[in-house]
Structure formats: structure tokens, C-alpha cells
Amino acid sequence: MSPAPVIIAIDGRSGAGKTTLAVELAARLRAHHRVSLFHLEDIYPGWNGLMVGIDRYVATVLEPLARGDAATWTSWDWEKHYDGDSRVTLPAEIVIVEGVGAAAAPARPFLSAVIWADSPEEIRRTRALDRDGGSYEPYWDQWAAQEEEWLRTDDVPQHADIRVLNRADGAAPADVLQLLPYLPALSPALSPELSARRGPSLRVERLEGSPEPAALFSSLYGTSANAVWLDSSNAGSAWQSPEDRAGDQPGNHAASEAAGRSRFSIMADDAGTHGQSMTHRSGQSELRAGCGTATVEGPFFRWLDSVWGDAAVGTPDGYPGEFTLGWLGCLGYELKRETGGSDQSAPTPDASLIFAGRAVVLDHAEGTTWLLALDAPEAGEWLEDARAAVESACGPAAQLAPAAQAGGSNGVVLPHPPAFRSRDTGNQYREKIAAAQHEIAEGNTYEVCLTTTLSAEVPAAGLDPWPTYLALRGKNPAPFASYLKFGGLTVASTSPERFLKIASDGGMRAEPIKGTRRRAADPQEDAQLRRDLAESLKDRAENIMIVDLLRNDLSHFAAPGSVTVSRLCAIESYATVHQMVSTIDARLQRGSSRAEAVAACFPAGSMTGAPKISTMAILDRLEGGGRGLYSGAIGYFSLNGATDLAVAIRTLVIDAAGDGTAELTLGVGGAITADSDPDDEYEEIRTKAFGVLSTLRARFPNT
């Protein structure tokens, strides 16, 4: 008797490459484990024996192996077409069983993981006949008919933990091995593989020069299916107010804070040996590595805790940034179901992330470019290509390209401007403001961040997301601007607000924005609007309520006595708005989970109101629909344990449905307090939408 093994089944139709995948996977796992391998083709009783073979396999092979016993089974003699000799498969730490029916319904209770391999039919037939020669060809149709009959009543692919599109290019074993440790049933057994992945070698290069960011991103990632650009697009901008420009002098705290937020830009995709992507919806994560896709059940933040938090790499000497490769992307507001909110759904994913094994980091303060790459066979070639792209993007021609792609700096040239509709008419939004104030009067909340959604449907061919984002960043530069591309889903954000930063050394910071005024072309009027915001008792009250909420959120995982407010109700100016900003700092308590610390603060208090949980329940009743990515977070989770996340506001989401249309959505909202004026609040959401809508030459819906 041996300990019960981990049993991995590799199933799929004939010719899907199961045998080669099983052999290669077993060879790689044998670096750290004892592995047994069983092929179902040795037990099928003839060309019409699929179902009988499955029964024999379960009874004589799986049942004893699952107990940790040796399996004694009768082979099939394919030349004599009769039972052959008796054979033994010994138990091992890991047992791999492969063949058609390896993960059939009677087998699944004994299995730790199911891998479904698939290939295009023309590849499957050619591969099977090449392997078995002419002996299989007369029986191909007969065997295929058995497979189809079996799969009609037993949908094995739907039960698969990992699905592989095996194109016979040799990539499948490595891709599957990347995904296997994510499966909860396998992660304890595959701890050596996890340890190897968590201690990679990081290659770093520093290059002089400031490449044009848009030209560089287009050169390196313009054709990538999944790519992320965390874009400090306001670095060096000239649209600050006179007060901010005066603040550029030494000693001005507000200016130094703003400059710090705008120092770095990060560009990456999910290509290369280490590249992966993930999508989370309603308690289920789908992870992709090359040709493999794994499905993992469970909450998002539990998954995040399993892949991020412990420092896997250190910060290189001389490197001034916090990002040292890792996960990048966005979290949707509906993840609140895991942090005290109700369970709602949205058309967009609850989270979309890529794992970047290589990236470009621009240091706008020093005028340098950093190339980061985890050691891999192709790392040297990528570094060479990235060097050339940086050099090209530093040239004079690159400086002109972005404006040309954006159709000019004032907006996107479209055949017809999008006709946006609002989830709430003006009167409906005002009625909801009154309902929120009733909740405040009843003592159920102090402040309600009431939002609505603007949406429009356009021909997908008529709106290119890339020049659309370039026009947005040109019109409304922001420290946390970002361009995220996940297949047909694009996120184009010009967010000015930091949600949460956790440095690699444990320093924590939140910088909520509450209080907004439009910018004016006349300098005197603009200065008056800024003073009006600074002196507004209502806006200060809104901001201070959120500061108190975030102090509480941070305190759950902060070292005692470390929570401080270093800025309270400071005014910062951006291209289209003045904003009131505060800064709350803390230090992460030693031994605390960084993923749980993020969850404790999610969603951003500036997008819910206070107290958070009861106010989220009120918002669910008032808003009547999911927010999607709006009000969530955008940023990174780095391999050195650092994270920097922005609040997903001023954010256009472009969702290409695949039917020739694209749905545009823009969320807007504002904080409602007891003394809010409904007309002023409605005007505020129009102000917040202006930067995005005017870029598209669209209007706020007049309803």
C-alpha cells in the first residue's frame, strides 16, 4: 500500500496528440516526482470496444491506483484481436492516464485533474494515421462514430480543468505544465514546480533616452492580442494651473506628490515563455498559457493570494521603480461580492489580467528606459528587439506618429459621432439623489456615491480603439491613464485617482479624490473655480468622510499606529478638471497577506460612500445594474510584492461583440450628501463625462 497518488487524465478524440502530450508531461514531472503512465489503447477490447474499454479501465486500473495499490489488468492483443497478457501498473506520486475515455463519467470520481486535448480534424486524422499506419485507416470512421456517441451523453470537455488546442508544434507540454499548479487539487503535489516558478532570474537593462511612448507601444505591442500600457500620460504636461506651476518650486508638497504619481509608464503583453492571461467571472477564473486553458473555481482574491504577495524577485540595484514584472490589468466593481457587497453580474469580466514575463518601463523623471525580462530561451532575442524599438521611438519621426494616428489632437474622426444613451434620464438621476438623501436622513448612510452609465453601439469597423485612446490621452492627460487590450475588450482610461499602492517594503498609500470643478479657458475664471473648490464646505465634508473610511480600510492590515493623513483636501488641476485630493499612508503589518489587504480596501471608498457595506447595498437598489469595470481598479501586482492600482474612472470601455458591432460604455457619478443640490450634482456628472465625450465628438444625452 502506497499513499494515494495524484491522478491526471488526458482525454480527447483520436489524433489529438494525447500520447505525445502524456509522455512529454511525464518526462518533465519526473524531474521532481515519481510518475506512472497508463495508455488506454492497451486495454480497449478491439475497434468497437470503447465503452467496454472504459469500464475495464475504471475497474481494473483506476480503482486500485486511487487506493495506492498496484493495478493488475489484461491487455488487448491488436494483432490477434483477443485478450493479451496480464500487466501491472505501479502506483506513484503522480499517475498520468491518457486515451479516449480517460476522463469519462465513471472515471472522474477517481481523478485529481482532467486535461482535454483537441486539434482540428484534419490534423487529428493525419496524426493518428501517421502514428498507427494502415492498420487504423479502415477503422477510423467506426472509432470516430463511437467517440461521438459517447460524447453526446458525456460532455467531458465541460468537465475539463485544462483544455489544450494541440497543434502538434511541441508547445503543449510546457503550456500545460504552466497551468497545472494553479489547480487547487494539484498545487500541494506540484510545490517544486511552484517554487521554481516563484524564484526566476530577472534580467534588467537601462537605456538612455526618452522614446515617444505611443510609438514605442505600437511598435512592440501593436499586434498583440493582449497587452497593457499603464501610461503616465500627464508627465511633463503644460496644462497645470498657475498655483500648480508655482508649486513646482522646491518645497511644494502637492507638486511633488503629483510628479511622483506620473514618474513611470509600463508596457507589456503576455507573449513569451512565461506569458499568461486570466479572466475571472462570478467565482471562476480562466487562465491561459499558450495553447492551454485552465478553469479554476473559487473567489478572485483567494486566487490572487495564491499567485502574488510573497516576493519572488528582489528589486534590482539602481532600478528606481517598484514594478519588477508580474500581473497587470483591471478589476471590476462586481468583485465587491467578495468584500461584503452583494453578488451582481456585468457584461464585462470581473477581472482581466496578463502575466508579463518581460516589459518596458519608462522613467519620465530621469529620461531613461528600463527593459525587464525573466530568464527564458527567447529573453536575449526580445531584449535585442526592444532595444531597437526604443532607439527607433527616440527618433524625430516617432514624435509625429501618435497625433497622426489619433486624427489630430482634438478628437477622434468618426463618420458619425456615437449617440450615447443614459441608464437614467436627468429627472430619474435627480429622483435617485432624493432617494439617497432619504437614506441619509434615516441614518442608513452618510454619503452615497451614486453613478449611472452612458452607452452607445457603433459599427466595430468604424471605431479603432487605438487612435481613440491616443486622442483621449492627448485631450485629458492623467497620471493613471491606461490602455488595456484583452482580445475584443479594450479599456481606455484617463484616471487621475490612485486607489491603493503597496510598496515592496510594505508602505501603503491611498489617495482618494472627492470634489470636482471644470476648467475654464479664461485664467481668472479658472482660478476662481479652483478657489471655489478649495473653499467648498460640502466638498471638504465629502472628502473627509472618504478619508475616514479609507483610514479604517487600511487599518485592518496596517501596523498599529502607522495610519496617518499626510494631505487633506489638497487641490490638483488636470486638463479638464480641478480635483480635491487627500493622501492616507500606512505600513503593512508584517506577515499580512497583501492580496487580503487589497481586498479589505476594495472597491475604492471614493466610489461607494460611507459606511461602505451598507452603502453598497443602497447603491444596488438605486442604480439597478452592474457597473462593470467602472469603479474598479487598474494597475499591477508585481513579483516583488508591490502593487499600484488606480480607480477606474474617466474610463471608456469598448467591447467588440464579434457580430460587427462594438458597445461603448462610460460610467459617471458623484457623491451625494444631505446638503447636495440635485441640479449641481447632475451638472457634476456632465462635467466628468466631458473629457471622454468631447474626444469622441459626442454629446451628453439630453434626456
* Residues designated as active site: 497, 514
Residue pair 162/7 in contact by the 8 Å Cβ criterion: no
What 3-state DSSP class applies to 496? Answer: coil
Alpha helices by DSSP H, 446-581: 465-475, 523-535, 537-555
DSSP classification of residue 604:
P
The rounded Cα 65 to chain-centroid distance in angstroms is: 39
78: cell is: 491488436
Which segments within 119-243 are labelled E, that is strand? 162-165, 202-208, 226-231
Q: Could you report how far apart the first and last alpha carbons of the chain are, in Å? A: 74
Question: Which DSSP state fits 62?
Answer: I
CB 6 within 8 A of CB 186: yes
Q: Which helix (H) or strand (E) holds 127?
A: helix 121-132
Are the beta carbons of 554 and 584 closer than 8 angstroms? yes
The CA distances from residue 643 to 183, 266, 510, 701, in Å, are 24, 13, 12, 37
> CA 427 to CA 314: how far, in whole Å?
55
- The kind and range of the H/E element at 30 are none
Exposed, middle or buried, 405 (CB in 10 Å: 0-12/13-18/19+)?
middle
Q: How far is CA 245 from CA 6, 238, 516, in A?
A: 64, 9, 19
Three-state SS string over 648-690 comes to CCCEEEEEECCCCEEEEEEEEEEEECCCCCHHHHHHHHHHHHH
Helices 379-393, 213-221: inter-axial angle, 10-degree rounding:
140
Closest among 401, 304, 399 to 353, alpha carbons compared: 304
Query: Cα separation of 319 and 316, whole Å?
Result: 6
Q: Which three cell numbers stand for residue 238?
A: 503644460
- What burial class does residue 17 get, using C-beta atoms within 10 Å of its C-beta: 0-12 exposed, 13-18 middle, 19+ buried? buried
CB 523 within 8 A of CB 314: no
Residue with cell 494651473: 241
Phi, psi (degrees; rounded to nearest 5) at 508: -120, 145
Q: Which residues on neighbouring strands pair with residue 96, listed in sequence order? A: 8, 37
Rounded CA gap, 410 and 352, in Å?
30
DSSP annotation of 222 reads T
* φ, ψ of residue 350 in degrees (nearest 5): -75, -25
Those residues with Cβ within 8 angstroms of residue 632's Cβ, 6 or more apart along the chain or in another chain:
330, 331, 332, 333, 335, 603, 647, 648
3-state helix, strand, coil in the chain (%, to 5): 35, 30, 35
Closest CA to 19 of 6, 10, 28: 10
- Residue among 169, 164, 134, 180 at smallest CA distance from 13: 164
Residue with grid cell 513646482, as numbered in its chain: 248
Residue with cell 481613440: 468
